[in-house]
Chains A and B, each alone.
Chain A
Amino acid sequence: MSLRDKPIRQKLMAILLLTSAVVLVLTCATLLASEFVTFRQTTLKNLSTLGGIIAANSTASLAFQNEGDAREILAALRAEPHIVAAGVYDKDGKLFARYPADLPVAALPAVPDRDGYRFERSHLVGFGPVAQAGNARLGTLYLKSDLTAVYGTLRLAGAIVALVMGVSLVVAYLLSAALQGMISRPILALAQIAKGVSDRQDYSVRAPKLAEDELGLLTDSFNQMLGRIEGQDRTLRKLIAELERSNKELEQFAYVASHDLQEPLRMVSSYTELLERRYGDKLDDRGRTFINFAVDGAVRMQRLINDLLEFSRVSTRGKPMQPVDVNRVLGVVRANLSVAIREAGALVTNDELPTVMADETQLVQLLQNLVGNAIKFRGGERPQVHVSVQRGAAECVFAVRDNGIGIAREYYERIFVIFQRLHARSEYPGTGIGLAMCRRIVERHGGRIWVESAPGQGSTFYFALPKGHRGQAP
């Protein structure tokens, strides 16, 4: 897992620790490096100063060849324990005196090297001229200083620096662990609240505001947003509940009304028929025509009530979804419409149709309405109806194409609204419920229905049924 995906707490800690570590390392490294350089420079300067003093004191010993005096002068180096070897060479490069007195001659360079001091591993060695006050050179002084002590001091400094660094890092860790909460705590609190809100859909909670900074501002905005959502959610729920109630009432009303209307209607039609049968011969032609009007009205009302009942039953009496072979459904539709098909001489063809999840009765109603409409709204030619299907990834789109009178674009929507008719009843009979019911059925199946058409060029009604649809509560 990269740092990007780590919790914000760890990110903050990592940032704080990394920053402190880099700063510490850079600071300590600089400190140590400068200490090292300074130490070396100081050591070099000290040794060359010491060399200068010893050389100045040795001039007479060299000038007058007094080895004892030279040894005595060199012996003063005892005060500097880090000087491990020293030698005075005469003008000809011959060793004249050495320190310590018991030092083997081999431990000193056989002949002096060029003047100057240089570092040789753990030692600082150097040669300096011996001359009396700017006069001719009398000889050369050699000094060898052991830097172990100096390096020991440096190592100690390094160890102290490392210790300080370690302690600083621990302190930085503790501090960052304590301080990261200032930033991470409000964010985590916000995240937790947001998660709770989305998990439980409880919009009544509020995030606690911990500070007046940007996070406080964010908390405020979040809480305000929650408040607005809570208000909207409440309104929405109320609206939905109201809608559901009124919808239920309406359905109930429609069902009850149409059901209860049938009883008096049946009485009207039966008594009108009885009247015609018994007293038909006693009435004149006008009387019989009136009775026919009354019977016709009663029959139409009966159909209207039946259609309304069907319509209201789409959602109230729906059956659960199950696999339905649409080929078989079309067969039922053909049988139901056989009279109309025969009368109109219609040709109803179809592609190989799939099996879909649907309420079979309603699918029959749907296709029957569409095919029936295709035959009913025929033009001058012999009606041809073709049912085809387009299998998509998520849905099957069925098409019922006809060669009928067609529909103008401005009515594409209106035809699906209940009781909306485009034609006079005398032209094309019907209650104006069919397509509205089709839409209701398709919507109950979680699909869509639409039309593509042009006047005089036939219509194609499409309906899409989602695949694997498990059914939807009415």
Chain B
Amino acid sequence: MKATPGSRGARGRVRGVIRAYLLGGIALLPWGPRVGAQAARPSEYQLKAVFLFNFAQFVDWPAGAFPDSTSPLVIGVLGDDPFGPYLDETVRGETVRGRPLQVRRYPKIEDIRTCHILFVSPSEESRLENILASLKHRAILTVGDGEGFAKRGGMIRFVSERNKVRMRINVAAAEAAQLTISSKLLRAAEIVTSGKP
């Protein structure tokens, strides 16, 4: 599936602005362009937005998760949205397995109806147990970046390590929700189980 020109252009523009900004600062250095390119590393939440989108490609939802073959795949953000414009820009115009992508923001857990990937914002840290418990049997891939998110029953936790974003995946939690996570994704991540420290 090809990225449409529109979406690529949008992202390219954002990157271009950042790069131009950084380049401007270091343009006097002789190896400027190379350093500039490295310096154009995306921000943490920009990266996480892309990862959220990529989960759609490596996770299989049970048949009942979609009303029909063209219904959109919904990426939800519960609580305060830390992504800014990135998530919308990332998914704009994209499709995964023929499905368009939608971003929805839910202030409260009760607002969630159809959702496939749910990012639980750090703002919901205190309510995490309740949230995960209420989502327990729904085919929703829960993603978060709070401490112990995966061990506490969340499915995928983002971990920031030395400017990189890594993942910890609770496979058992995903299986309980009838979600199948691709072994390729599992290989790129660290596997954890519920409850263990």
A residues sitting closer than 8 Å to B (CB atoms) are 57, 59-61, 63-66, 69, 92, 94, 131-138
B109–chain A nearest beta-carbon distance, Å: 27
Contact B58 A63 (CB under 8 A): yes
Interface SS of chain B: mixed
Q: Is the CB of A135 within 8 A of B57?
A: yes
14 intermolecular pairs with C-beta atoms under 8 Å apart: A57-B184, A60-B188, A63-B51, A63-B58, A64-B165, A65-B47, A65-B164, A66-B166, A69-B187, A134-B1, A135-B57, A135-B96, A136-B3, A138-B54
Contacts of A57 in B (CB 8 A): 184
* Selected contact of A132 from candidates B3, B57, B187, CB within 8 Å: B57
Q: For A60, give the chain B residue with the smallest CB separation.
A: B184
Q: How far is the CB of B45 from chain A (nearest CB, A)?
A: 14
Query: Could you tell me if B188 and A137 are in contact, using CB atoms closer than 8 angstroms?
Result: no
Nearest A residue to B164, CB-CB: A65
Query: Top 7 nearest A-B pairs by Cβ distance?
Result: A60-B184, A63-B54, A66-B188, A132-B57, A60-B188, A69-B188, A64-B188
Known contacts being A69-B187, A136-B94, is A60 close to B182, with CB within 8 Å? yes
| Contacting pair A94 B188 (CB below 8 A) | no
Nearest B residue to A133 by beta-carbon distance?
B57
B37 CB-CB contact with A under 8 Å: yes
Q: Which residues 144-197 of B sit at the A interface, judged by CB distance below 8 A? A: 164-167, 182, 184-185, 187-189
B14-60 CB contacts (< 8 Å) to partner A: 15, 37, 47, 50-51, 54, 57-58
- Looking at A59, A64, A137, which has the most chain B CB atoms within 10 Å of its CB? A64
Assuming A60-B187, A63-B58, A64-B188, is B51 touching A133 (CB within 8 A)?
no
Contact indicator B187/A137 (Cβ below 8 Å): no
List A contacts of B50 (CB < 8 A): 63
* Residue B113 CB within 8 A of the other chain: no
B38 to chain A, nearest CB (A): 9
Q: Which residue of A lies closest to B183 (CB)?
A: A60
Q: Whole-angstrom distance from the CB of B165 to the nearest CB of chain A?
A: 7
A272 CB to closest chain B CB (Å) equals: 155
**Complex Cα spacing A138 to B2, Å:** 10
CB contact under 8 A between A64 and B97, given known A69-B187, A69-B188, A137-B3: no
State whether A134 and B97 are in contact (beta carbons under 8 Å apart), knowing that A60-B58, A60-B188 are contacts in the complex. Answer: yes
Q: By the criterion CB–CB under 8 Å, are B57 and A65 in contact?
A: no
CB distance A136 to B185 under 8 Å? no
CA distance A59 to B59 in the complex (A): 13
Interface size on B, residues (CB 8 A): 24
Taking the nearest CB of chain A, how far is it from the CB of B149, in angstroms?
16
* Interface pair B57/A137, CB less than 8 Å apart: no
A137→B167 contact, CB < 8 A: no
Establish whether residues B1 and A64, one from each chain, have CB atoms under 8 Å apart when the complex forms: no
Beta-carbon contact of A64 and B185 below 8 Å: yes
CA distance A59 to B15 in the complex (A): 22
Query: Residue on B with the closest CB to A58?
Result: B184
- CB pair B1–A135 under 8 Å, yes or no, is yes
> CB-CB < 8 A to A65: which residues of B?
47, 164-165
- A94/B58 contact (C-beta < 8 A), A65-B165, A69-B188 known: no
Q: Which residues of B contact A138 (CB under 8 A)?
A: 54
State A94–B182 Cα separation when bound (angstroms). 25
Kindly list chain B residues whose C-beta atoms are within 8 Å of the C-beta of A133: 57, 97
- Bound Cα distance A185, B15 (Å): 93
> Which B residues are CB-close (under 8 A) to A136?
1-3, 94, 96
Given contacts A60-B185, A60-B188, A94-B37, contact A137 B2 (CB under 8 A): yes
Given known contacts A65-B165, A137-B3, A132 and B58 CB-to-CB distance under 8 angstroms = yes
- Beyond A59-B58, A59-B184, A134-B97: 19 further Cβ-contacts under 8 Å? A60-B182, A60-B185, A61-B184, A63-B50, A63-B57, A63-B58, A63-B185, A64-B165, A64-B188, A64-B189, A66-B188, A69-B187, A131-B1, A132-B58, A133-B97, A135-B97, A136-B1, A136-B94, A137-B2
How far is it, in angstroms, between the C-alpha of A345 and the C-alpha of B184 when the chains are bound?
A: 148
Kindly list chain B residues whose C-beta atoms are within 8 Å of the C-beta of A59: 57-58, 184
CA distance A60 to B96 in the complex (A): 15
Contacts of B96 in A (CB 8 A): 135-136
Chain A residues near B2 (CB, 8 Å)? 136-137
Specify the chain B residue showing the minimal Cβ separation from A91: B3
Among B165, B184, B188, chain A packs the most CB atoms within 10 A around the CB of B188
Measured CA separation A135–B55 after assembly (Å)? 12
CB of B167 within 8 A of CB of A64, answer yes
Nearest Cβ distance between residue B93 and chain A, in whole angstroms? 10
Residue numbers in B under 8 Å from A66 (CB-CB)? 166, 188
**How far is B167's CA from A60's CA once the two chains are assembled, in angstroms?**
12
Please, which residue of chain B has its CB at the minimum distance from the CB of A68? B188
Check B54 against A64 for contact (C-beta < 8 Å).
yes
Instruction: Report how far A61 CA is from B54 CA in the complex, Å.
Output: 11
Given the complex of chains A and B, what is the CA–CA distance between A59 and B188 in angstroms? 10
In the complex, the chain B residue whose C-beta lies closest to that of A56 is: B184
- Bound-complex Cα distance A225 to B48 (A): 111
Bound-complex Cα distance A57 to B58 (A) = 12
Whole-angstrom distance from the CB of A23 to the nearest CB of chain B?
55
Q: Which residues on B sit within 8 Å (CB–CB) of A132?
A: 54, 57-58, 182, 184
A136 to B164, CA, bound (A): 23
**Chain A residues near B94 (CB-CB < 8 A):** 136
For the complex formed, measure the closest distance between the CB of A2 and the CB atoms of chain B, giving whole angstroms.
72
Instruction: Report the Cα distance A60→B50, complex, angstroms.
Output: 12
Which residue of A has the minimal Cβ distance to B2?
A: A136
In the complex, chain B residues whose CB is within 8 Å of the CB of A63? 50-51, 54, 57-58, 185, 188
* Residues in chain B near residue A60, CB distance under 8 A: 58, 182, 184-185, 187-188
Set of chain A residues within 8 Å of B1, measured between Cβ atoms: 131, 134-136
